[in-house]
Chain A
Amino acid sequence: MRKTSYAAAMVEALRTSLANDPHVTLVGSYVLGLGPKRVLMDPIRAEFPDRLYDPPISEAALVSLGAGAAMAGARPFVDLGTGSFSYVGWSPLVNEAAVARYMSCGRLRVPVVYHMLHGLRGGGASQHSHSPQAMLWNAAGLEIVLPSSPRDVKGLLRTAIKSDNPTVFINHARLMDIEDDVPEDDYAIPFGQADIKRPGRDVTIVATSFVVHAALAAADLLAQEGIEAEVLDPRTLVPFDHATLLDSVRRTGRLVIVDETNLSCGVAAEIAAIVAEEGFEHLRTPIARVTRPDVPTPFSKPLEDAITPTAEKVAAAVRRVLKAA
């Protein structure tokens, strides 16, 4: 199978979506960020000049615009840029888009995709490094997608644009250059299906988005020590695949959760709660979390490194969990 970059795979899904449905439009076209991969969007700009709208810097109005357009039957893909900026649009995100279907008793559909880049990207400091997915998970009514691989980003984006629900599609800023096998034909990956990125019998490591790669690197380190770690990527937080997670923990008996959202009320906290409530009997040792600590993001590299979940930190957590047995 051919290898292609995460960014190129995402562009393929956008192109197919635009070609297949005239009601799909892009509001904001720098969806790959402002790095060198941004030129991959140029062919789309050339092919669909009347389907791309370059908006003013008005995140709040753009979130609402996407919801209103979706209520009127369009399928907008709204780019909010860096996830930290999405907070400017928080009110229409949680007060309009997320609740419209429920509050109208199903009479309104809101098929909009909100796209943002998240995460510790290197020097982003406290206003360009946010990972809003935990807060979004706390606002019922939004599908949340966190693709970690080129293959996943293509298939999950096709599903996101076809979805009749408001969907937040979140890419880590550092995933864009990652290359892997990606099918050339069109395919959709259903939401709510976790993917075992690496099977293993000794411990389950749950991770999403960029830290999946830290988890896989940790599994490589641990394999040299004879520890077989299973790496599970939920791929979507909403809907969340409880069954695959619980089945994995039932087989391994141990759980380490890696995530870039903060420790308190973060993604790892919710996943830990799910297993504690629904799979406590499978656990042979306490759950461990490797997350950002509860601090704003510092700028300077040694400080940023100190709060970043890494393969070494994940491997250390696994060793601690195994020793606790």
Chain B
Amino acid sequence: MATAALDQKTSLSIFERMLMMRHFEEAVIRLYNERQFVSHYHIYIGQEATGAGVLEALGDNDLICTTHRNHGHIIGRGSDPGRALAEILGRATGFNGGRGGALHICDPDKGFLSTSGIVGGCAPLATGAAYGIKVKREPHVAVAFFGDGSLEEGIVLEAFNIAALWKLPVVYVCENNSAGATGAQQGGYSTATTAVESFTRLPAAYGIHAVKVDGADAATVHAAARDAIARCRAGSGSVFIEAATLRWPGSSPLWPELATTFDLDQAFDPARIGGPHSDWIRDRDPLLRLARDIVTQRFATAAQLKARDAAARERIRAAIAFAVESPMPAPETALAGVFA
């Protein structure tokens, strides 16, 4: 796909989504290391350009189903970071009232239907959401975010077949974080265990329009998502986007420490870059990369971006305070609400 360019407004909006994702996730890691909650969770750092680029292209009434690596998607959708953090901390004020936790956050008011912790589970759910959209004759689309590991699950291929047969308005966004994954390079675990050499060939076999993009380039992702959504809205059927992403060094091992902490100044001052993850900071971090692009294109000054960064940090500080101060759910409510 040709290199796409973002306009000023879109650039800054995507930057804002990515900033919020990054500060949110650094907060999650800190809160875990402070023993504020007990659970597992999956960090999205390094993949933000993909989620933000796709979410920027969606309308208010479009529907989203995602996978266990979901923090970026819920925050990038514009959902309240305080309620999201509260859910991760198991608080009554969380999006799911503390019944879901990190792996099941949803925000149906924003079309964020489901986080499925079952690998591949979100793809057929989003296909079903698209079926619902079609039955209701609405002009919306459904999006499924999942990792490359999901393509090892048969149910995802079943979903491709159904989506293709019934021309359902669903966009499958596969965030391939295995190719060149940092962990694999360092001899850690590799997430892809597949004989498939090109993931786009799987949906293409069903006749689904399938493209591969650089997932660290927000502009390219955004252009692909816009095209995919337009195809769905036009009734042309489903689209598959493979976004090649790189996982942040902190994603290996599975239980992340803060290997790096976000420092926007590193985008503008190479002298501030150092340490074992210099390559990541200089070349890979999609948020720093977008910040440099924005300044180079004169969409904003470094000082203006720093002001946005400070505002994002402040919103996350408020979200942490809200979550930590929120009450736990009352034990006597544990049995309520299984059925309507």
Query: B116 near A95 (CB under 8 angstroms)?
Result: yes
Residues of B within 8 A of A141 (CB): 338-339
B281 contacts partner chain A, Cβ-Cβ < 8 Å: no
Query: A60 near B154 (CB under 8 angstroms)?
Result: yes
- The smallest beta-carbon distance between B144 and chain A, in angstroms, is 9
Closest to B156 in A: A61
Query: B158 near A60 (CB under 8 angstroms)?
Result: yes
A102 contacts partner chain B, Cβ-Cβ < 8 Å: yes
Query: A68 near B128 (CB under 8 angstroms)?
Result: yes
Query: B338 near A71 (CB under 8 angstroms)?
Result: no
A23 contacts partner chain B, Cβ-Cβ < 8 Å: yes
A101 contacts partner chain B, Cβ-Cβ < 8 Å: yes
Closest to B104 in A: A103
A106 contacts partner chain B, Cβ-Cβ < 8 Å: yes
CA–CA, A91 and B124, complex, Å: 12
Query: B131 near A67 (CB under 8 angstroms)?
Result: no
B99 contacts partner chain A, Cβ-Cβ < 8 Å: yes
Residues of B within 8 A of A239 (CB): 339
Residues of A within 8 A of B133 (CB): 72
A83 contacts partner chain B, Cβ-Cβ < 8 Å: no
Q: How many residues of chain B are within 8 Å of chain A by beta carbon?
A: 43
Q: Which of B114, B126, B132, B162 contacts A100 (CB 8 A)?
A: B114
Query: B159 near A65 (CB under 8 angstroms)?
Result: yes
Choose the segment among A8-16, A51-59, A123-131, A278-286 that binds chain B (4+ C-beta atoms closer than 8 Å). A51-59
Query: A61 near B338 (CB under 8 angstroms)?
Result: no
CA–CA, A66 and B130, complex, Å: 11
A306 contacts partner chain B, Cβ-Cβ < 8 Å: no
Residues of A within 8 A of B113 (CB): 68, 71-72, 108
A253 contacts partner chain B, Cβ-Cβ < 8 Å: no
Residues of A within 8 A of B130 (CB): 68, 72
From 121 to 146 in chain B, residues with beta carbon under 8 angstroms from any chain A beta carbon are 121, 124-133, 135-136, 142
A263 contacts partner chain B, Cβ-Cβ < 8 Å: no
B290 contacts partner chain A, Cβ-Cβ < 8 Å: no
From 246 to 265 in chain A, residues with beta carbon under 8 angstroms from any chain B beta carbon are none
B253 contacts partner chain A, Cβ-Cβ < 8 Å: no
Query: B339 near A69 (CB under 8 angstroms)?
Result: no
CA–CA, A261 and B79, complex, Å: 46
CA–CA, A143 and B131, complex, Å: 23
* Interface flags, B85-127, vs A, CB<8A=1, else 0: 0000000000111111000101111000110101001001111
A188 contacts partner chain B, Cβ-Cβ < 8 Å: no
Query: B131 near A76 (CB under 8 angstroms)?
Result: yes
Residues of B within 8 A of A96 (CB): 114, 116, 118, 121, 125
Q: Which of B99, B127, B166 contacts A68 (CB 8 A)?
A: B127
- The smallest beta-carbon distance between A61 and chain B, in angstroms, is 3
B239 contacts partner chain A, Cβ-Cβ < 8 Å: no
Query: B154 near A108 (CB under 8 angstroms)?
Result: no
A318 contacts partner chain B, Cβ-Cβ < 8 Å: no
Q: Which of A71, A92, A102, A107 contacts B155 (CB 8 A)?
A: A92
Q: Do A64 and B159 contact each other (CB < 8 Å), given the known contacts A71-B113, A108-B113?
A: yes
CA–CA, A272 and B223, complex, Å: 62
Query: B338 near A73 (CB under 8 angstroms)?
Result: no
Query: A68 near B126 (CB under 8 angstroms)?
Result: yes
Query: B99 near A69 (CB under 8 angstroms)?
Result: no
Q: List 22 A-B contacts (CB under 8 A).
A: A58-B161, A61-B124, A61-B158, A61-B159, A64-B125, A68-B65, A68-B130, A69-B129, A72-B128, A76-B132, A91-B155, A96-B116, A96-B125, A101-B339, A104-B106, A105-B96, A105-B98, A106-B340, A107-B96, A107-B107, A107-B108, A143-B339
Query: Hey, which bits of chain A sit against chain B, CB under 8 A?
Result: 22-23, 25, 53, 55-56, 58, 60-62, 64-74, 76, 91-92, 95-96, 100-109, 140-141, 143, 163-165, 239
